[in-house]
């Protein structure tokens, strides 16, 4: 097992290197440079040239790439032009907020999705199955940013139960209760689509398993229906559900971009959108590499978890 | 992105109208304490170092924490004393001697004096200065005419310019000229932008990244203590969310309200303020080649565009019709006698016929959105329709903002006949000097992308820049406006009105033509 994990970790290196090249190339090729974005109306060629020199952007692209890569290997992600602070500070702070949001949403959608899927499967074509399927399809079909705005209008503007946006109250907040109040709407809006997908796939995975012989055997020897479903069948179905969870974790992370903008959550997705608009090259590059590294790491974890669950997947 | 924005906006207003109609509204509950004003900003500030930032969004905070030597008189763009109590300009216009206010201290306790003023400008302008590395200072060229800053005595400072430069005083009133504490820069170095210290009506308390910047009242301010206890600036980048926060009572003051959201605030619980600013939205016409090389065709385009419809219908009243190249906000330099080109399609057709071009084909560069561009796609489409109606054959090419600038700034020759553009400036000199002179053609490093050239205009602008008497400058600018309007190198379209919404707990709030947000006299109950 240890060597399997090591092998997977090594295979991540070329992936990450490829990501650094792609994100650097994209930022170098998109029109517009930070100096023009900063100077706005006053971007005369002379001013742009001077500011580029001050920002260290006058060197050739290849040289800039290797300087950036070299610095990054020593843990120095550079300084953000637009925020005037070290990229790594900003990314870590923002990623922390994203983890809180996406993590909550992910736990929510795993729990609700698997629950809904199992109930659906165990009452195939029954009322519960039909009702759940209907709600799930509705959830999959609503764009999450639209749902988020509707929730803001209803719960924050009209009912005033919850705050509109942000992560903590400006005054008198900062505790866990305050965080939960700010978290509930964005996490719910973010979880809806993934919950639907997980529910649909859990349902079919369960149906597959429930048709198999060992389930019939379990029932025949008098195991309670509850244990058959939640013990025997779900455990076997998890082998095909877990990869889906891994993929959904990625979707939740990327879906967080919209939700973070709608709810002004101070996360890494909103940071990247702002940084791209401002051509804040180092912040975009550093942020993308960091998120990509986390994503790769997450996939490795899913693979490992799967190999633990399913003895057929061998190193 | 633009399409998605529009869709989201549309859905948002439709849905909010629906929900409000259902009568779900509950009475407002106060969420922010009295004496504390929560301002909804459009973005996270870059830094709180006035010399290092360029965005209006950052200026809104800075103008309340720092003072300059001079400032704009409330409600105008005319310069009046601030940290300087007065000044003298030498006969030849190259020496400005300022008498400084006595007894002023920075928030960190250090004293304001001539040495500090010299430190401020040397830091920005002198590349060998020990604190020049606390930059970069992108707008330092505002003071590129400054050759030397000299301490005459502790309360007198003299600026020597390399040539007479009339906009110098109004550049000093701009945020780039705000005075920072030398002691604080020496203490914090490059981190000064996160630990600012000035002399302004509010002193900096804390900056919680992506959440809020908090400032509190400075009871010892030389111009009297502010009425508020504290101001909290919250960055809320999404306009819909900003609107929702305002409706939910999470903020007390909201700037840059989207036109479609204005109808939400038509009640006694809110006050909508408007103020036209030093902004002009225009179409650059290519006067070098193609149909617009003919003055009559350029005038025809000015007659053909229905500017009233643009500002009232497309921009929902958030702008006024522009008459010429200078915005009326520069009251002292604005030519009142100028009337906008009327909407007159008949006259436009007649002018085209006279020029022998009944159906000129033109290429029109439109941007998806950018600083000061308002609603460029909708405006571009409406303009296209107006021009088609009088016989033009208009082809639109749309570009993302940065690409657009890359196409337009180097000049329209060989690419397009007209392009959208907008400018916001702080002195009547800036825009015409950079965009209408022959010496400002793109190949000479200026922004005259349409290659307009009139020796008389060149002469007027050069003379106005070296004149130090404001009345004389005003006379020259007024004459320039008349000639430029007649020559029609642009289609003069709109002057943007900045807007803001305040809740009924906020009193004494006023927008400034400079677009700065001055909160010293604001009261929050």
- Same domain? For A193 and A269 the reply is yes
CB A197 within 8 A of CB B64: no
A53 within a domain of the structure (yes/no):
yes
Interacting residues of A249 by C-beta distance below 8 A, sequence separation 6+: A102, A106, A298, A302
> B216 contacts in A (CB within 8 Å)?
none
Placement of tokens 């840059």 in the chain: B256
With a cut of 90, say whether residue A117 has pLDDT above it: yes
Chain B segment 140-159 residues within 8 A of A by beta carbon are 141
The three-class DSSP label of residue B145 is coil
Q: What is the pTM of this model?
A: 0.83
Cβ distance of B43 and A164 shorter than 8 Å: no
pLDDT of B355: 92
pLDDT band at A51 (very low <50, low <70, confident <90, very high): confident
A315 within a domain of the structure (yes/no):
no
CB A204 within 8 A of CB A113: no
- Same domain? For A129 and A258 the reply is yes
Q: Where does B197-312 have alpha helices with state H?
A: 239-248, 295-304, 307-309
Check if B372 contacts A (Cβ < 8 Å): yes
- pLDDT by residue (tens digit) across B220-268? 999 999 999 999 999 998 888 999 999 998 899 998 888 888 888 988 9
- pLDDT by residue (tens digit) across A261-284? 999 999 998 889 888 887 888 899
- Same domain? For A123 and A142 the reply is yes
Chain B segment 352-371 residues within 8 A of A by beta carbon are 371
CB B35 within 8 A of CB B524: yes
With the CA atoms of B161, B200, B499 and B6 taken in that order, what torsion angle do they form, in degrees rounded to the nearest 10? 90
Query: CA-to-CA distance for B413 and B417, rounded, in angstroms?
Result: 8
Cβ distance of A157 and B36 shorter than 8 Å: no
A120 within a domain of the structure (yes/no):
yes
Nearest to A297 by CA among A95, A113, A105: A95
Q: Are strands B393-399 and B361-367 parallel, antiparallel or unpaired?
A: parallel
Chain B interface test: which of A28, A36, A153 (most B C-beta within 10 Å): A153
Tokens for A49, please give them.
């040239």
CB atoms within 10 A of CB A226: 9
- Same domain? For A164 and A306 the reply is yes
A141 to chain B nearest CA, in Å?
16
The three-class DSSP label of residue A171 is coil
Residues forming beta bridges with residue B212, ordered by sequence position: B208
Establish whether the linkage from the previous residue to B136 is cis, with ω within 30° of 0. yes
Cβ distance of B139 and A159 shorter than 8 Å: no
ipTM of the complex: 0.80
pLDDT band at A130 (very low <50, low <70, confident <90, very high): very high
Sign of CA dihedral B350, B352, B357, B362: negative
CB B482 within 8 A of CB B338: yes
B242 to chain A nearest CA, in Å?
9
Nearest to B452 by CA among B479, B422, B425, B431: B431
CB B236 within 8 A of CB B472: no
How many CA within 13 A on the CB side of residue B189? 4
How many CA within 13 A on the CB side of residue A56? 13
- Domain boundary, last residue among A86, A106, A137: A86
pLDDT of A172: 67
Residues forming beta bridges with residue B397, ordered by sequence position: B365
- Domain boundary, last residue among A68, A86, A104: A86
Tokens for B77, please give them.
């763009």
- pLDDT by residue (tens digit) across A58-83? 888 888 899 899 888 888 888 888 77
Interacting residues of B398 by C-beta distance below 8 A, sequence separation 6+: B366, B367, B368, B377, B380
Tokens for B331, please give them.
């009251």
Q: What is the mean pLDDT of the segment spanning A42-56? A: 77
Chain B interface test: which of A84, A100, A168, A276 (most B C-beta within 10 Å): A84
- Same domain? For A111 and A71 the reply is no
DSSP code of B342? P
DSSP for B54-94, written as a single string = --HHHHHHHHHH--BSEEEPTTSS-EEESSEEEEEE-TTS-
Cβ distance of A156 and B244 shorter than 8 Å: yes
A229 within a domain of the structure (yes/no):
yes
Q: Are strands B95-100 and B490-503 parallel, antiparallel or unpaired?
A: unpaired
Tally A–B CB contacts below 8 A. Answer: 147
Query: CA-to-CA distance for A157 and B269, rounded, in angstroms?
Result: 14
- pLDDT by residue (tens digit) across A156-215? 998 888 998 888 887 766 788 889 999 999 999 999 999 999 999 999 999 999 988 998
With the CA atoms of A65, A70, A71 and A75 taken in that order, what torsion angle do they form, in degrees rounded to the nearest 10? 130
Check if B189 contacts A (Cβ < 8 Å): no
pLDDT of B2: 39
CB atoms within 10 A of CB B471: 9
Q: Where does B356-511 have alpha helices with state H?
A: 376-389, 401-408, 430-435, 455-466, 470-487
Tokens for A205, please give them.
């995975």
Interacting residues of B420 by C-beta distance below 8 A, sequence separation 6+: B281, B282, B283, B284, B365, B366, B367, B373, B376, B379, B380
CA A146 to chain centre: 18
User: If you measure CA to CA, which chain B residue comes closest to A89?
Assistant: B209
Query: CA-to-CA distance for B291 and B418, rounded, in angstroms?
Result: 10
- Domain boundary, last residue among A53, A86, A119: A86
- Quote the radius of gyration of chain B (alpha carbons, Å): 24
**Lowest-pLDDT choice from A135-144, A245-254, B1-10, B334-343:** B1-10
Domain count, chain A: 2
- Same domain? For A176 and A240 the reply is yes
Query: CA-to-CA distance for A135 and A130, rounded, in angstroms?
Result: 9
Domain limits of chain B?
1-65+200-252+505-525, 66-191, 279-497
A298 to chain B nearest CA, in Å?
27
Option in B11, B241, B406 nearest A165 (CB): B241
> A27 contacts in B (CB within 8 Å)?
none
Check if B247 contacts A (Cβ < 8 Å): yes
The H-or-E segment that residue B118 falls in is helix B114-125
DSSP for B159-223, written as a single string = EEESS--TTHHHHHHSGGGBPPPHHHHHHHGGGGGGS---SSSEEEEEEETTTEEEEEE-TT-TT
CATH number of B279-497: 3.10.105.10
Nearest to A37 by CA among A14, A55, A10: A55
CATH number of B66-191: 3.90.76.10
- Same domain? For A76 and A170 the reply is no
CA B408 to chain centre: 20
Chain B segment 3-22 residues within 8 A of A by beta carbon are 8, 11-12, 15-16, 19-20
> B235 contacts in A (CB within 8 Å)?
264
The three-class DSSP label of residue B358 is coil
Query: CA-to-CA distance for A174 and A156, rounded, in angstroms?
Result: 19
Nearest to B180 by CA among B128, B102, B122, B99: B122
pLDDT of B13: 53
A125 to chain B nearest CA, in Å?
35
- Please give the CATH topology (third level) of the domain spanning B1-65+200-252+505-525: D-Maltodextrin-Binding Protein; domain 2 (3.40.190)
Query: CA-to-CA distance for B306 and B309, rounded, in angstroms?
Result: 6
- Same domain? For A70 and A161 the reply is no
* CB environment B240-277: b (16+ within 10 A), e (fewer): bbbbbbbbbbbbbbbbbbbbbbbebbeeeebeebebbb
- Same domain? For A159 and A303 the reply is yes
Diameter over CA atoms, chain B: 72
pLDDT of A245: 87
Cβ distance of A44 and B445 shorter than 8 Å: yes
- Same domain? For A162 and A219 the reply is yes
Q: Which range of residues forms the domain containing residue A68?
A: 2-86
Low-confidence ranges of chain B (pLDDT < 50): 1-9, 11-12, 17-30
- Same domain? For A145 and A275 the reply is yes
A254 within a domain of the structure (yes/no):
yes
Q: Where does chain A have alpha helices with state H?
A: 2-29, 34-39, 45-55, 61-73, 87-122, 127-141, 144-151, 176-210, 213-220, 225-227, 234-262, 268-277, 281-309
- pLDDT by residue (tens digit) across A24-48? 999 888 877 778 777 766 777 777 8
pLDDT of B31: 65
Q: What is the mean pLDDT of the segment spanning A130-139? A: 91
The three-class DSSP label of residue B420 is strand
The H-or-E segment that residue B231 falls in is strand B230-235
Chain B segment 397-426 residues within 8 A of A by beta carbon are 400-403, 405-406, 409, 423-425
Placement of tokens 């203590």 in the chain: B225
Cβ distance of B240 and A47 shorter than 8 Å: no
A58 within a domain of the structure (yes/no):
yes
Cβ distance of B32 and A171 shorter than 8 Å: yes
Query: CA-to-CA distance for B100 and B117, rounded, in angstroms?
Result: 10
Interacting residues of B172 by C-beta distance below 8 A, sequence separation 6+: B68, B69, B70, B79
> A82 contacts in B (CB within 8 Å)?
46
Chain B interface test: which of A157, A181, A273, A281 (most B C-beta within 10 Å): A157
User: If you measure CA to CA, which chain A residue comes closest to B18?
Assistant: A153
CATH code for position A296: 1.10.3720.10
Residues forming beta bridges with residue B506, ordered by sequence position: B524
Interacting residues of A307 by C-beta distance below 8 A, sequence separation 6+: A1, A4, A313, A314, A315
B425 to chain A nearest CA, in Å?
9
Q: Are strands B36-41 and B253-255 parallel, antiparallel or unpaired?
A: parallel
Cβ distance of A163 and B36 shorter than 8 Å: no
CB A228 within 8 A of CB A222: no
B409 to chain A nearest CA, in Å?
9
Chain B interface test: which of A87, A160, A182 (most B C-beta within 10 Å): A160
- Same domain? For A101 and A69 the reply is no
Option in B33, B236, B403 nearest A171 (CB): B33
Interacting residues of A261 by C-beta distance below 8 A, sequence separation 6+: A145, A269, A270, A273, B237, B238, B241
A138 within a domain of the structure (yes/no):
yes
Tokens for A239, please give them.
């082998």
Placement of tokens 């006050």 in the chain: B271
């Amino acid at each position: 097992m240890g060597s399997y994990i090591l092998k997977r970790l090594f295979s991540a290196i070329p992936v990450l290197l490829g990501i650094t090249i792609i994100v650097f190339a994209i930022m170098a090729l998109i029109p517009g440079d930070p100096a023009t974005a900063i100077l706005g109306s006053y971007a005369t060629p002379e001013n742009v040239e001077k500011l580029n020199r001050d920002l260290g952007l006058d060197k050739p692209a290849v040289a800039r790439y290797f300087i950036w890569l070299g610095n990054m290997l020593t843990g120095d992600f550079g300084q953000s032009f637009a925020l005037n602070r070290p990229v790594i500070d900003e990314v870590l702070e923002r990623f922390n907020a994203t983890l809180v949001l996406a993590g909550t949403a992910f736990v929510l959608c795993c729990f609700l999705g698997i629950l809904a899927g199992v109930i659906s499967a165990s009452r195939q074509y029954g009322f519960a199955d039909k009702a759940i399927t209907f709600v799930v399809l509705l959830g999959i079909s609503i764009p999450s940013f639209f749902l988020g705005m509707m929730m803001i209008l209803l719960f924050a503007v009209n009912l005033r139960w919850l705050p509109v946006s942000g992560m903590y109250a400006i005054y008198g907040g900062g505790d866990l209760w305050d965080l939960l109040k700010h978290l509930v709407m964005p996490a719910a809006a973010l979880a809806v689509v993934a919950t639907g997908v997980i529910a649909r796939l859990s349902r079919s995975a369960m149906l597959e398993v429930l048709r198999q012989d060992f389930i019939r055997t379990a029932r025949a020897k008098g195991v309670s229906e509850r244990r058959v479903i939640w013990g025997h069948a779900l455990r076997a179905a998890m082998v095909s559900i877990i990869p889906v969870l891994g993929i959904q974790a990625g979707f939740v992370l990327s879906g967080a971009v919209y939700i973070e903008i709608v709810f002004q959550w101070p996360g890494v997705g909103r940071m990247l959108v702002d940084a791209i608009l401002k051509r804040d090259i180092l912040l975009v590059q550093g942020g993308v590499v960091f998120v990509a590294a986390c994503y790769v790491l997450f996939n490795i974890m899913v693979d490992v978890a799967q190999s633990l669950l399913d003895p057929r997947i061998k190193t | 992105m633009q399409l998605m924005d529009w869709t989201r906006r549309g859905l948002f207003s439709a849905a909010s109208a629906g929900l409000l109609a259902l009568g779900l509204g509950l009475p407002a509950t106060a969420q922010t304490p009295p004496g504390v004003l929560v301002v909804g900003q459009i973005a996270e500030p870059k830094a709180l170092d006035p010399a290092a930032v360029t965005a209006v969004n950052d200026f809104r905070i800075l103008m309340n924490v720092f003072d300059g030597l001079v400032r704009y008189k409330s409600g105008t763009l005319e310069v009046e004393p601030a940290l300087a109590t007065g000044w003298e300009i030498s006969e030849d216009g190259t020496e400005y001697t300022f008498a400084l206010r006595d007894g002023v201290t920075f928030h960190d306790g250090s004293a304001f004096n001539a040495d500090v003023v010299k430190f401020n400008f040397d830091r920005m302008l002198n590349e060998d200065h020990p604190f020049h590395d606390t930059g970069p200072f992108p707008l330092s060229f505002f003071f590129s005419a400054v050759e030397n800053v000299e301490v005459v005595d502790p309360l007198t400072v003299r600026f020597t310019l390399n040539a007479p430069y009339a906009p110098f005083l109004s550049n000093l009133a701009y945020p780039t000229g705000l005075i920072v504490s030398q002691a604080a820069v020496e203490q914090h170095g490059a981190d000064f932008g996160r630990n600012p210290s000035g002399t302004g009506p509010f002193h900096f308390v804390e900056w919680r990244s992506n959440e809020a910047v908090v400032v509190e009242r400075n009871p010892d301010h030389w111009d009297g203590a502010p009425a508020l206890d504290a101001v909290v600036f919250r960055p809320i980048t999404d306009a819909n969310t900003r609107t929702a926060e305002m409706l939910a009572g999470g903020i007390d003051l909201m700037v840059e309200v989207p036109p479609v959201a204005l109808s939400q605030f038509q009640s006694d619980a809110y006050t909508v303020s408007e103020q036209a600013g030093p902004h002009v939205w225009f179409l650059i016409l290519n006067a070098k080649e193609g149909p617009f090389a003919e003055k009559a065709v350029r005038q025809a385009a000015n007659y053909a565009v229905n500017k009233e419809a643009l500002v009232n219908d497309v921009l929902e009243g958030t702008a006024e019709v522009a008459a010429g190249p200078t915005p009326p906000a520069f009251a002292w330099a604005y030519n009142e006698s100028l009337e906008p080109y009327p909407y007159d399609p008949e006259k436009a057709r007649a002018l085209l016929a006279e020029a022998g071009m009944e159906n000129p084909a033109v290429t029109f560069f439109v941007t998806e959105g950018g600083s000061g561009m308002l609603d460029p796609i909708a405006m571009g489409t409406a303009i296209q329709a107006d021009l088609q109606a009088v016989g033009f054959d208009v082809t639109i090419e749309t570009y993302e903002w940065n690409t657009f600038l890359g196409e337009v700034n180097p000049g329209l020759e060989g690419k397009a006949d007209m392009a959208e553009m907008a400018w916001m400036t702080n002195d009547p000199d800036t825009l015409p000097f950079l965009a209408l002179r022959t010496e400002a053609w793109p190949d000479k490093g200026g922004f005259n992308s349409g290659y307009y050239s009139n020796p008389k205009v060149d002469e007027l602008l050069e003379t106005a820049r070296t004149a130090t008497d404001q009345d004389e400058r005003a006379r020259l600018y007024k004459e320039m406006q008349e000639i430029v309007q007649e020559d029609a190198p642009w289609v003069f379209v709109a002057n943007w009105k900045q807007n803001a919404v305040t809740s009924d707990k906020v009193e004494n709030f006023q927008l400034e033509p400079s677009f700065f947000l001055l909160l010293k006299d604001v009261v929050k109950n």
